[in-house]
């Protein structure tokens, strides 16, 4: 993700980079997970057809590869 895209995302969602130093790795991981979840939800709201096609494609491939016969 480019810096410009992250800046726009941070302004829209109020996200901020984790503080380094005193925070433990788990807290930074949770911040990253929250940021990724928020970013995906914003992306899905902006481009629902792309997310739907990806979900359909992944479901199709998984169903094809995991079929019981």
Mean pLDDT by 10-residue block, N- to C-terminus, for the chain (69 residues)? 65 67 58 86 94 96 86
Determine which helix (DSSP H) or strand (DSSP E) holds 35, and give its type and residue range: helix 25-46
Domain boundaries defined on the chain: 3-65
Res 67: pLDDT: 82
Res 60: pLDDT: 95
- Write b or e for each residue in 2-38: b if 16 or more Cβ atoms lie within 10 A of its Cβ, otherwise e: eeeeeeebeeeeeeeeeeeeeeeeeeeeebeeebeee
């Amino acid at each position: 993700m480019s810096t410009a895209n992250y800046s726009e995302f941070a302004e829209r969602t109020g996200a901020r980079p984790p503080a380094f130093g005193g925070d433990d790795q788990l807290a930074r991981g949770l911040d990253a997970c929250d940021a990724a979840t928020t970013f995906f939800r914003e992306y899905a709201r902006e481009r629902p057809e792309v997310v739907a096609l990806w979900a359909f494609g992944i479901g199709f491939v998984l169903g094809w590869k995991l079929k019981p016969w």
